[in-house]
Structure formats: structure tokens, C-alpha cells
Amino acid sequence: MLRLGRREFAPHEPVIMAIVNRTPDSFYDQGATFHDEPALTRVEQAVAEGAAIIDIGGVKAGPGEEVSAEEEARRTVGFVAEVRRRFPDVVISVDTWRHEVGEAVCEVGADVLNDAWGGVDPRLAEVAARYGAGLVCTHAGGALPRTRPHRVEYEDVMADILDRTLGLAERAVSLGVPRESVMIDPGHDFGKNTRHSLEATRRLDEMVATGWPVLVSLSNKDFVGETLDRPVKERVLGTLATTAVSAWLGAQVYRVHEVAETRQVLDMVASIAGHRAPAVARRGLA
């Protein structure tokens, strides 16, 4: 059972984490949710479309203008507090690698710290433990925050993913993070080239076999764009295909931009797998 905030999710229950970027320079929406009202509208829409988790980020993943911890907190803390007030039952995640920001957002109601840079700040897990928050343990191959991979090599990319993410997960539990609130993430694109991300996808069942809930962040990423030779705004179909494969292999949590489309893909895969009944089943019975 995965427990995040006030919510519990069964082992075969797919969970959607909707992305809400509090940045003026997001690679996907170019700042569409940087200001409060558009961002709150996005939260409302995502929840209505089936998102159980809202993932709020104050710094874009790629290189760009320097964003201090103080500025990151300014972009996220008040917004987290407002989302908590308006949506008391939604699970609030904050995408940060900094323990100072993690502390500030947990203080106002964040339920999960999404550490996309693989424990580069070891004190972030300590913050999650202190507040009883969930933690996403991501493989970034040792890359520093906001850097792009350059000629990175792995003898066995999945072996490295498992070694690093399981180490982070076990350390988090040893510090006091609830075991049922820890997720592991292969970190598509982070510290990887496109072939690494494709291999990580087709070998996701090896992560699932560890027993830790697996989170995947696939949405419109560069590995999808390079695989299909498509720009950012034309990667939805590739993203959804990758989502279906990931669901079939047992991933549980999906960090996405397109909530409604992802919900349909996950429901369809769950029904094929026998974990979900069809919404309607009249054909051949009337």
C-alpha cells in the first residue's frame, strides 16, 4: 500500500501526478502557470481530470537563469499553502532538491518531496523524515542539478539505477521516512542519453520487482522527442505509448502534463491486465 498525505493507493492502482510549473521558463508551457490564478486553474482542472497528486516545481530542470533557494521558496511556498487550503484532500508534491525549500513547503502542508536530482542534498531526506512526508528517490547518475548529460556511459544502466535508487530509498527509511511513502524513479533523461532512457523503460519490471512503488516522469521528454524526431509540442503520442508500456510493466505513479489522456491510457491498460472492470460492458449481452 502506497500512502501519501491523506490518501492510500492499492498496489495495482495507477496514480497520476499532474505537473504545475511555477517557473517563467518551463520547457513545456513557457511559464503558463507561473502566476497564481492560471496555476490554481490548472490544479482545479487536473484534479477534475483524475490527478491524485499535484507536483509543484519552482525551478526548471534544464540549464537557465540562476534561481536561488530564496527565490524557489518564494515561487512555491505560498502557492503550496493556497493549494492545501483549496484542495484539502489532494496530495501535494514539491519538485525540489534543496532541503531549505523542502522544509518550507512541508511546513505549509506539502505531502511529498520529489527529489529529481538523486539525493544531491542528503538533508532533503532528513526533512521528509522529520515531517513524515513521502519521498521520490530518483536516479540522476550523479549529475549535478540543472545540467545536461554529456557522453555519459553505463556498463549496465538498470544496474546503476537500482543501485542508486534502492540505496536512497533504504537510507530514507533508516532516517525515519515511512517505508510506505517512498517511491523510486528511473529518472528518464536525467544523466542519460536517449538509448539509456529507452532501456530503462523496457526494463522497468526489474524496478517493480524490488517491491518499491515506481514513479515515472515521461511527459514530453527529450528521449521521446529524439526517438520520434518530434518537437516538444508533438510528443504526446510518444509519451502515451511509453506510458502504456510502463503501466504494463508495473509502474504505479505517472508525472504528466496531459492528465485526461493519461487517465484513459492507464484505465485501458489496467482493464486489459484484469485490475479494473470495464466502465460499461453491454456488448453481446443485450
Sign, CA dihedral 171-251-239-25, equals negative
| Listed residue (206, 175, 176, 200) closest to 188, CA to CA | 200
Position 33 scores a pLDDT of: 87
Q: How far apart are CA 281 and CA 286, in angstroms?
A: 10
Q: Are 113 and 122 in contact (CB under 8 A)?
A: no
Position 30 scores a pLDDT of: 72
CB crowding 244-268: b at 16 or more within 10 Å, else e: bbbbebbbbbbbbbbbebbbebbbe
CB crowding 156-174: b at 16 or more within 10 Å, else e: ebbebbbebbbebbebbbe
Q: Torsion-angle region of residue 87: left (phi > 0), alpha (psi -120 to 50) or beta?
A: beta
Give pLDDT < 50 ranges for the chain: none
Position 25 scores a pLDDT of: 81
Position 209 scores a pLDDT of: 98
- What residues act catalytically? 221, 255
Cell of 241: 505509448
Tens digit of each residue's pLDDT (9 = 90 or more) over 111-144 = 999 999 999 999 999 999 999 999 999 999 999 9
Position 123 scores a pLDDT of: 98
